[in-house]
Amino acid sequence: MNFPKKLQCVIFDMDGVIIDSEEIHKKAYYETFKSLGVDVSEALYKTLTGSSTINAFQKLVNHFNLDDVPEELVLQKRKRYVNYFENDPTLALVQGVKDLIHFLYEQNITLVLASSSAMVNINRVFSRFGLNQYFTAKISGADLTASKPHPEIFEKAVLLGNASNENCIVIEDSDNGIKSANDAKIFVIGYKNPLSADQTLKNADLIIENFNELKKLIGQS
């Protein structure tokens, strides 16, 4: 798939693209796994990356044949995540992403957030780092019928961005998210976040290691 000739809308994932929060999500998940007495391998955890929390726990409950209610496990995990979020002073935006967001905004390109995180977590991040002013819309996969890797979240993002698929791009750091964008037929950029090294990004239309590469590409288009 080719990069849009007339870029109108950029759709951002959040965890691992805007904020380096993958590690605290993982800590919160594994504390919850420990409380359940289940041993979740790295390979199994990798399949959960990019999915909504409810989908992840539904999968685990089925996988381990647990009696626990997935909705209650979501709340347990969320409490642990919030504790890390509020008490980790090193938590920061991904390097260069604020400059990219400001650059796109100044170019009058519509920005939409499409994340598998719960909206309460999205709002927490956006408030802490002052991002609300730049984005036209925010979507939580937790509020949809199906989360990533299903394409619904990006299909809705295009509509909210008042654009067409061929004039949009998606920025993702997970294989599940990339598949979602592929199936939505949107050009997808795989951001190679060092903290998401277990993700191959092999089905991305373009892989970048820093956001200056994308700024240059947009400047040339």
Element spanning 75, H or E: helix 70-87
Q: How do the domains of the chain map onto residue ranges? A: 9-20+92-220, 22-87
Model confidence pLDDT, tens digit, residues 43-60: 999 888 878 889 899 999
Q: Which overall architecture, per CATH, does domain 22-87 show?
A: Orthogonal Bundle (1.10)
What pTM value is reported for the model? Answer: 0.85
Assigned CATH topology for domain 9-20+92-220:
Rossmann fold (3.40.50)
| Tens-place pLDDT, residues 87-101 | 888 789 999 999 999
How many Å apart are CA 57 and CA 69, to the nearest integer? 9
What pLDDT is attached to residue 21?
Answer: 83
* % of the chain exceeding 70 in pLDDT: 100
What tokens appear for 5 in the block? 């000739």
Which residue's entry shows tokens 């999205």? 122
Q: For residue 145, name the pLDDT band (cuts at 50, 70, 90).
A: confident
- pLDDT, residue 144, reads 87
Among 124-128, 140-144, 149-153, 159-163, where is mean pLDDT lowest? 140-144
Residue 32 has pLDDT above 80, yes or no: yes
Separation in Å, CA 114 to CA 21, 34, 55, 74, 87: 15, 30, 16, 19, 25
The string of pLDDT tens digits covering residues 162-187 is 999 999 999 999 999 999 999 999 99
Q: Report pLDDT for 10.
A: 98
- DSSP output for 82-131: HHHHHH-TT--BPTTHHHHHHHHHHTT-EEEEEESS-HHHHHHHHHHHT-
Q: In this predicted structure, what is the pLDDT of residue 174?
A: 93
pLDDT the model gives residue 221: 66
* Mean pLDDT computed over 76-86: 92
* Of 80, 68, 94, 93, nearest in space to 32 by CA: 80
| d(C-alpha 107, C-alpha 195), whole Å | 30
Same CATH topology for 9-20+92-220 and 22-87: the answer is no
pLDDT tens-digit readout, 9-25: 999 999 999 998 878 88
Cα(102)–Cα(119) distance, integer angstroms: 22
pLDDT at position 22 is 79
